[in-house]
Amino acid sequence: MKVVIFCGGYGTRLREYSETIPKPLVNIGERPIIWHLMKYYAHFGHKDFILCLGYRGDLIKEYFLKYDECASNDFVLSEGGRKVELFNHDISDWRITFVDTGLKSNIGQRLKAVEKHLQGEEVFLANYSDGLSDYPINSHVDHFLGTNAVASFIAVRPSQSFHAVTTESDSRVTSIENVTSSQIWINGGFFILRHNIFEYMAPGDELVEAPFQRLIKEGKLLGTKYKGFWASMDTFKDKKQFDDWYEAGNRPWQVWQRENQ
């Protein structure tokens, strides 16, 4: 299946990096987060990507045009550096379509901009470019194909340390609790979409707002609760957490490193 990745936003909450590079190119270890996400999909056999570009899309193009396999693979160097023998390859069997989907477009507009590249695809995958998971996506796909749903995503527990507050009409607080211990579930992305999702989209629509509300009314939107690993890189704190996990060798999103996956 083709995989649409939304990677055109400004990443303003990660300004320490996004003022110079787009958020999808912020590194975890020696590779940017978008590479980790694409490697995840490729592990499950989904290697045909459509990148919805916007802010500093030129740098994302440049990264792949000048891709260095040696950065994340073992190799033998000989003949004074003239010969490189790689033990493994990362992206040699990937197909990547780069599409400028606008500087200020929302997710729905970016998806609409790549509709022509999805002709003939009855079902396709889509995702944000700043979240990673070890979710078994093909199991998700199998379940989805057995339903009449038009769209699906994974619902995950929030990881931020905010507090959910409930009040009465006179502002008296009736409850306050950390969102991580509440019953709140959030949209974690990892979408599966039928091509007729475009029939539910009006010009300018944000994907998860009006179109999803229309699907809810028809009972055609699925949200699969997932309690396994999921994390997003929204802030500098999130970036630091990914770095800590990576340096400690705690990398659950790297499903391609597991045996017998």
Give 157's contacts (C-beta < 8 A, 6+ positions apart): 180, 184, 185, 186, 227, 230
Residue 175 maps to a domain: no
pLDDT tens-digit readout, 30-71: 899 999 999 999 999 999 999 999 988 899 999 999 887 777
Number of domains in the chain: 1
43: left (phi over 0), alpha (psi -120 to 50) or beta: alpha
Question: Could you tell me how many helices (H) and strands (E) the chain has, helices first?
Answer: 7, 16
CA–CA separation, 194 and 120 (whole Å)? 11
Please state the rounded mean pLDDT for residues 246-254.
Answer: 94
List CB contacts of 80: < 8 A, sequence separation 6 or more: none
Q: What is the pLDDT of residues 155-176, one digit of tens each?
A: 998 776 667 777 887 777 777 7
Residue 132 maps to which CATH number? 3.90.550.10
Mean pLDDT rounded to a whole number for the chain: 87
User: Is residue 76 very low, low, confident or very high in pLDDT (cuts 50, 70, 90)?
Assistant: confident
pLDDT given at position 88: 74
What is the distance between the alpha carbons of residues 105 and 138, in angstroms, rounded to a whole number? 30
Give domain status of residue 65, yes or no.
yes
Model confidence over 166-207: pLDDT tens digits? 788 777 777 777 766 667 888 899 999 999 999 999 999 999
Q: Are 134 and 41 in contact (CB under 8 A)?
A: no
176 within some domain: no
In-domain check, residue 160:
no
Sort 23 into a burial class: Cβ within 10 Å, 0-12 / 13-18 / 19+: buried
Residue 103 domain flag = yes
What is the domain range of residue 252? 2-149+187-257
Provide, rounded to the nearest whole percent, the portion of the chain with pLDDT above 90.
63
> What mean pLDDT do residues 208-220 have?
95
261 pLDDT higher than 70: no
165 belongs to a structural domain = no
Tell me what pLDDT residue 24 has: 93
Q: Does the residue 66 lie in any domain?
A: yes
Residue 245 counted as domain residue: yes
CA–CA dist 68, 60 (Å, integer): 14
Look at residue 108 and tell me whether its pLDDT is greater than 90. yes
